[in-house]
Structure 1
Amino acid sequence: MASKDSTQKQFFGITDNVPEEAWYWLAIGSILLSAGFKISKKDNWALFVGQWPPTFIVFALYHRLLRPSSK
């Protein structure tokens, strides 16, 4: 079983490879997808997908605040 530090290093290794702008585009895309689901009367899917943007924005802020040298 992997240790907590090893798992955390793997997680940050993966997220560090994603550019900051990609997280913002994912947030915008999920908002549009949620709106599309709402328009097509799929309210449960709209609510589910509508929860994603804050997570994507937090990842982008992580890159901006904790990894300023990557820009």
Structure 2
Amino acid sequence: MAEATTRMGQDSRRSEAYQHSEGTVARSIEKQTAKLPSDVFLWAAFASIGSSLLLRSVDRRDESLFVGQWAPTFLCLGIYNKIVKIAGSDRTRG
């Protein structure tokens, strides 16, 4: 009885995984970005902050704000990259 219940639970999880599997575009992008070291995104965020400070110091306020807003995006991309590396991008493929 317990074995049948366990098997049913595994089948329903597998079926859910197939219903929510990644498309070919997402899979190919993740395959390429997973090759990047995670610190690339951290350094890009620091470069964005530094460039923003530099632009602000030469009185280019609009450009400074624009470039400074890239930092959170780089950090979010870094988090996504780390998750893909650790957890994998798709539960239906090996």
**TM-score, normalized by length of structure 2?**
0.59
Q: Out of 42, 51, 58, which is 2:76 matched to?
A: 58
Q: What are the ranges of 5 or more consecutive residues in structure 2 without an aligned counterpart?
A: 1-22, 88-94
More displaced 10-residue stretch of structure 1: 55-64 or 43-52: 55-64
1:18 shift after superposition: 1.6
Q: What are the ranges of 5 or more consecutive residues in structure 1 without an aligned counterpart?
A: none
1:61 shift after superposition: 1.2
Q: Out of 49, 54, 58, which is 1:40 matched to?
A: 58
Rounded to whole Å, the distance in 2 between the matches of 1:31 and 1:14 is 26
Q: Report the structure number with the largest CA radius of gyration.
A: 2
Paired amino acid for 2:27: K
1:62 shift after superposition: 1.5
Per the alignment, residue 29 of structure 1 pairs with 47
Q: Out of 7, 10, 20, which is 2:38 matched to?
A: 20
Aligned residues: 66
Q: Percent identity?
A: 26
Structure with more relative contact order (C-alpha pairs < 8 Å, separation 6 or more): 2
**TM-score, normalized by length of structure 1?**
0.75
Could you say if the C-alpha distance between residues 12 and 54 of structure 1 is closer, same or farther in structure 2, counting changes exceeding 3 Å? same
